[in-house]
Amino acid sequence: MKLKLHWQILIALFLGILLALASKAGGFENFVIEDLSILGVIFLRALRMVIVPLIVSSIISGVTSIGNAENFGRMSAKTFTYYVTTSLLAILTGLVLVNLIQPGVGAHLNLQTVPGNLQANVEKLGDTLLGIIPLNPLAVMVEGKILPTIFFSLLFGFFITKAPDPYRQQLTDFFQGVFEVMMKLTHFIILFTPVGVFAIIAQKVAQTGLDVFIPLAGYMLTVIGALAIHAFITLPLLLALIGRISPLKMFKAMSAALLTAFSTSSSSATLPLTMSSIEENAGASNRVSSFVLPLGATINMDGTALYECVAAIFIAQVYGFDLSFAQQFIVVLTALLASIGAAGIPMAGLVMMAIILNAVGLPLEGVGLILAVDRILDMLRTSVNVWSDSCGTAIIAKTEGETGLKVLRQ
Ligand code: ASP
């Protein structure tokens, strides 16, 4: 019997960690970090290769099946309500926990090197929002800019439904065909996930020493605790109460995608797996998933939003700043904005911290305090980001009256 993909990935994760530890003990970590890691690079490149054509064809074929403007408006309203509500719930969970635990109060930490270009990011957020409307749709696709590509694809798909026949039918069939081909290609790449995960994890573990965790243990536990509450309590409650969906079945259906998000620290790179898992294992339609997932991978980041809030307040605590209620409110709002603006790539959230620190007047160098443990937190928050997108897709599919869902409670 063939081993299920998520088991294969779990075994790969485990073996990757073992190899990294062995390489450190045996002094051959350079082989793992420099040579073996090529397998991970190949896997990530292959995933990135399919992202733009997959997003374009899936959105266009999905939107043409949504049909009229009324359906389109209803789906958009549901999707955005879900994104904003869950992101705010996540931020509030982080806010409560970081105020209760106060991991930064009295902590003595050394600043590590600060990532460059922080100030540039503060100014760039406005541009990113405006940049959603592409000047040249083909150029943004070629450059792999996700938000403007989504924007154009949504409009293009919508106006196909307004075109007269035979063009409407021809174009609908054409994009449906491209989408089917892209899914087949994606499945082929997904077969190699265990190999990619093995190499990526081995490299990450070999690069990181455990000693950096000790001074930041309180901060890490606060972020991890809040992420756990959001992933294992808040989102499952929404699944069960609004969608009558079994959180456990949903978790099983999405496990390969969640493990890949964990290993790659990138919602965008995981998107091909998220889409195929939600459609094949959870049984949601392409009509809903193509609307909720690509957008979600870029703008709905519950894990990142939560982390931004905890990290900003932690930095304030370390510097001995007492944030007023109004300032904490600004942290909540800017954490939401930063999570929307963060790209679905590794460490995007860390770079976006600059926006929040700037908004409440904290020194940008504060980012240097949390740098050492960002990698592991990035893995966890990316999994939560993908989990929230998946839960949203299932809930919206259920409220749209879909009958094919395989994750409903008995
Ligand atoms: N790595 C995260 C993601 O791709 C973004 C972040 O850095 O928070 O979802």
Gap from CA of 323 to ligand 1 centroid (Å): 26
Gap from CA of 265 to ligand 1 centroid (Å): 6
Q: Is the CB of 255 under 6 A from ligand 1?
A: no
The pLDDT value given to residue 395: 96
Two structure tokens written together for 404: 């094919």
Task: Give the closest residue to 247 by CA, choosing from 238, 256, 259.
Answer: 238
Give residue 245's pLDDT band: very low, low, confident or very high (50, 70, 90): very high
Mean pLDDT of 147-169: 89
Query: What's the mean per-residue pLDDT of the chain?
Result: 87
Give residue 122's pLDDT band: very low, low, confident or very high (50, 70, 90): low
| Ligand 1 pocket mutation pick from 147, 310, 345 by most atoms within 8 angstroms of CB | 345
Full-model pTM: 0.84
Among 109-113, 189-193, 332-336, the minimum mean pLDDT is found in 109-113
Q: Is the CB of 381 under 6 A from ligand 1?
A: yes
The pLDDT value given to residue 166: 93
Mean pLDDT of 68-80: 86
For residue 52, tell me if it sits in a domain: yes
Query: Is the per-residue pLDDT at 205 higher than 60?
Result: yes
CA trace torsion 18, 252, 305, 206 (10° rounding): 10
Which structural domain range is residue 145 located in?
A: 5-399
For residue 312, tell me if it sits in a domain: yes
Residue nearest atom 6 of ligand 1, based on CA coordinates: 349
The pLDDT value given to residue 128: 65
The pLDDT value given to residue 114: 52
List pLDDT tens digits, range 159-187: 998 899 899 999 999 998 998 898 888 88
Query: Is the per-residue pLDDT at 211 higher than 80?
Result: no
Query: Is the per-residue pLDDT at 18 higher than 80?
Result: yes
Distance CA 386, CA 3 (A): 23
Which contacts qualify for 399-404: CB closer than 8 Å, 24 or more apart? 399/78, 399/242, 399/243, 400/75, 400/287, 400/288, 402/283, 402/284, 402/285, 402/288, 404/283, 404/284, 404/285
For residue 405, tell me if it sits in a domain: no
Number of domains composing the chain: 1
Q: Is the CB of 150 under 6 A from ligand 1?
A: no
Q: Is the CB of 304 under 6 A from ligand 1?
A: yes
Assess contact for 190 and 272: CB atoms under 8 A: yes
The pLDDT value given to residue 115: 52
Assess contact for 275 and 289: CB atoms under 8 A: yes
Mean pLDDT of 133-160: 88
Q: Is 139 exposed, middle or buried (0-12, 13-18, 19+ CB in 10 A)?
A: exposed
The pLDDT value given to residue 237: 97
The pLDDT value given to residue 113: 52
The pLDDT value given to residue 240: 95
Residue nearest atom 1 of ligand 1, based on CA coordinates: 346
Gap from CA of 298 to ligand 1 centroid (Å): 9
Query: Is the per-residue pLDDT at 131 higher than 80?
Result: no
Gap from CA of 9 to ligand 1 centroid (Å): 20
Count of other CB atoms within 10 angstroms of residue 324: 10
**Would you put residue 346 in left (φ > 0), alpha (ψ -120 to 50) or beta?**
beta
The pLDDT value given to residue 147: 78
Q: Is the CB of 284 under 6 A from ligand 1?
A: no
Gap from CA of 344 to ligand 1 centroid (Å): 5
147-156, 250-259, 341-350: range with highest mean pLDDT = 250-259
Give residue 281's pLDDT band: very low, low, confident or very high (50, 70, 90): very high
Gap from CA of 382 to ligand 1 centroid (Å): 5
List pLDDT tens digits, range 349-406: 887 888 888 888 888 888 888 877 888 899 999 999 999 999 999 999 999 988 888 9
The pLDDT value given to residue 110: 59
Could you give the C-alpha distances from 407 to 248, 251, 281, 353, in angstroms and in order?
8, 9, 8, 36
Query: Three-state SS for 215?
Result: coil
Give residue 88's pLDDT band: very low, low, confident or very high (50, 70, 90): very high
Contacts of 204 (CB under 8 A, 6+ apart): 20, 375
CATH number of 371's domain: 1.10.3860.10
Distance CA 405, CA 161 (A): 26
Mean pLDDT of 43-63: 85
The pLDDT value given to residue 230: 98
Distance CA 336, CA 183 (A): 32
Query: Is the per-residue pLDDT at 292 higher than 80?
Result: yes
Assess contact for 389 and 296: CB atoms under 8 A: yes
For residue 78, tell me if it sits in a domain: yes
User: Interior CA angle at 247 toward 243 and 252, to 5°?
Assistant: 125
Give residue 348's pLDDT band: very low, low, confident or very high (50, 70, 90): confident
The pLDDT value given to residue 33: 83
Task: Give the closest residue to 200 by CA, choosing from 350, 347, 36, 349.
Answer: 36
* Ligand 1 atom at minimal distance to the Cα of residue 351: 7
Query: Three-state SS for 14?
Result: helix
The pLDDT value given to residue 210: 67
For residue 274, tell me if it sits in a domain: yes
Task: Give the closest residue to 291 by CA, choosing from 58, 4, 48.
Answer: 58
The pLDDT value given to residue 125: 61
The pLDDT value given to residue 206: 85
The pLDDT value given to residue 29: 81
* Ligand 1 atom at minimal distance to the Cα of residue 381: 8
| Ligand 1 pocket mutation pick from 227, 308, 347 by most atoms within 8 angstroms of CB | 347
Mean pLDDT of 326-334: 89
Two structure tokens written together for 303: 């894990």
